């Protein structure tokens, strides 16, 4: 998996998310909810990254919520400064613009924090990032920082 680079100074405008879905920054008391969600739907590694991002003040985690239910999350500055991710949407909620809305809100938060570029570490759906935020692949970035991590 390759890393990707996103220029934050020319982010495309965010598309509206479906009615009733709120995209907002998570708060500390939600840490266990976000981490449990990440572990249940994705992996323990992602739950660990969520814990790191949730421990920042304010939390470096954006969440998508509908009727009090967590649909998805996106982190930044979790594994490394300037890194976007991990991000994930409940399989049942995919295809409704939630992933794109979380991506754009998080990239905007990174822009507001002073970053000029964001790195998508170990990008999964490359075409998603290319189409949604103009990300480009970083040559020679596989396996990147995750290459020799403990498992
Ligand atoms: C990737 C993911 C976050 C997308 O969430 P989503 O809510 O289904 O995405 P959206 O509905 O916001 O899709 C927005 C657009 O991206 C496109 N898209 C979504 N997933 C895509 C994928 N895997 N590959 C290419 N394009 C994709 C959609 O077709 C849509 O296109 P449009 O703007 O032309 O309509 C979600 O599929 C997911 O959680 N995947 C598993 C975890 C993962 O891979 N995370 C990324 C790790 S780097």
Q: Quick check: CB of 125 below 6 Å from ligand 1?
A: yes
Nearest CA to ligand 1 atom 2: 99
pLDDT at 15 over 90: no
Q: Is 137 helix (H, G, I), strand (E, B) or coil?
A: strand
Closest ligand 1 atom number to CA of residue 98: 7
Q: Quick check: CB of 94 below 6 Å from ligand 1?
A: yes
Residue 111 or 151, more confident = 111
Is residue 104 included in any domain, yes or no? yes
Calculate the dihedral angle through the C-alpha atoms of 82, 55, 98, 151, rounding to the nearest 10 degrees.
80
Q: Quick check: CB of 146 below 6 Å from ligand 1?
A: no
Domains: count for the chain: 1
Q: Quick check: CB of 100 below 6 Å from ligand 1?
A: yes
CB-CB neighbours of 110 under 10 Å: 23
The closest alpha carbon to 26, from 66, 6, 5, 56, belongs to: 56
Is residue 10 included in any domain, yes or no? yes
| Separation between Cα atoms, residue 109 and residue 106, nearest integer Å | 5
Is residue 35 included in any domain, yes or no? yes
| CATH code for the domain of 17 | 3.40.630.30
Is residue 64 included in any domain, yes or no? yes
User: CA triplet 134, 122, 96: central angle to 5 degrees?
Assistant: 55
Task: Identify the pLDDT of residue 20.
Answer: 96
pLDDT at 14 over 90: no
Could you tell me which residues are beta bridge partners of residue 118?
Answer: 6
For the stretch 47-99, pLDDT in tens is 999 999 999 999 999 999 999 999 999 999 999 999 999 999 999 999 999 99
Q: Is 107 helix (H, G, I), strand (E, B) or coil?
A: helix
**Domain ranges, residue 140:** 4-146
Q: Strand 21-25 relative to strand 83-89: parallel, antiparallel, unpaired?
A: unpaired
pLDDT at 25 over 90: yes
Is residue 151 included in any domain, yes or no? no
- What values do phi and psi take at 21, rounded to 5? -100, 130
């Amino acid at each position: 998996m390759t890393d990707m680079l996103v220029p934050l100074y020319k982010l495309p405008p965010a598309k509206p998310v479906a009615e009733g879905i709120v995209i907002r920054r998570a708060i500390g008391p939600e840490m266990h909810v976000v981490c449990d969600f990440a572990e249940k739907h994705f992996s323990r590694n992602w739950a660990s990254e969520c814990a790191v991002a949730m421990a920042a003040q304010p939390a470096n985690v954006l969440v998508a919520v509908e009727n009090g239910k967590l649909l998805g999350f996106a982190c930044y500055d979790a594994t490394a400064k300037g890194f976007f991710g991990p991000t994930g949407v409940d399989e049942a909620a995919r295809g409704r613009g939630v992933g794109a809305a979380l991506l754009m809100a998080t990239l905007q938060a990174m822009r507001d924090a002073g970053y000029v570029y964001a790195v998508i570490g170990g990008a999964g759906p490359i075409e998603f990032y290319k189409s949604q935020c103009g990300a480009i692949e970083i040559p020679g970035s596989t396996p990147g920082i995750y290459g020799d991590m403990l498992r």
